[in-house]
A = this chain, B = another copy of it.
Amino acid sequence: MTNPTAAMLVIGDEILSGRTRDGNTHYLAGELTQRGIRLAEARVVPDEQPAIIEAVNALRARWDHVFTSGGIGPTHDDITADAMAAAFGVAITHRADATALLQAHYDRAGLEFNAARQRMARIPDGAALIDNPVSTAPGFTLGNVHVMAGVPNIFQAMVASVLPTITGGQPLLSQSLRVNRGEGEIAGPFGALAAEFPDLSMGSYPFIQNGAHGTNLVIRGTDPGLVDQAMTRLCALFA
């Protein structure tokens, strides 16, 4: 597989306590898949600097890109920017361009640009800002790590800002067939078909609907002709 790889790092006690259900990983997964980038791993860690540092260092060494969500707001428990600076061994300061963006934003809103809000202008040295069209406070890219907000609509806006800067490989194509039979019934021939197409990925996803067992069969690959060919065979087997 020559497609670029990526990992997601979700940072936040609220996810691990069950208070909040993470939806950013699912969103990112869909966006990356559409662009031919393979999400290879995802992790969730608490708001603790050693855990964040260890995870980001492991992931950035292994994959082409790391996307993080959470911990870049104004409160004391938002420690992601400091953790990233520590992970990369660089300094972190109130940066002039980020400060100017935020100052203008709060001026327009008639709100005080207080010390808590000024924290959001603290950016590790050497990082490039990620545009935040929703609420101004920027994310940043440091090396191959894209540090973004946890609030879903801001996260999504930042993903949209970052993705064009990343070179996508060939898009990963998928086709699927819905079969009104349980997995146990189709597993044998489906596995045999998968073995015939080693360059494709085939997966089965069972469901129950209105009390009936069914399975979605999915074929993925980068070669459209090969995906079509396998899909024709799959339909002949089960459709």
Chain A residues near B (Cβ < 8 Å): 10, 13-23, 25-33, 38-47, 51, 73-77, 111, 114-117, 119, 151, 172, 174, 182-184, 186-188, 190-191, 194-195, 201-208, 210-215, 218, 220
Contacts and interface: CB of A to CB of B under 8 A. Distances in A.
B75 A14 contact: no
Contacts of A14: 203, 205, 218
A17 to B, nearest CB: 5
10 contacts: A15-B29, A16-B39, A18-B30, A18-B31, A18-B39, A75-B186, A76-B191, A116-B191, A207-B208, A211-B213
A215 B77 CA distance: 14
A44 B45 contact: no
B40 A17 contact: no
B77 A204 contact: yes
A29 B40 contact: no
Contacts of A220: 17
A21 B19 contact: no
A239 B194 CA distance: 41
Count copies of this chain in the complex: 2
Contacts of A45: 41
Contacts of A44: 25, 41-43
A117 B184 contact: yes
Given A16-B39, A29-B18, A184-B111, A213 B208 contact: yes
A26 B18 contact: yes
A73 B18 contact: no
A73 B41 contact: no
A165 B141 CA distance: 45
Given A22-B25, A116-B187, A207 B212 contact: yes
Contacts of A73: 183, 204, 206
A75 B140 CA distance: 42
A208 B154 CA distance: 12
A75 B190 contact: yes
A23 B21 contact: yes
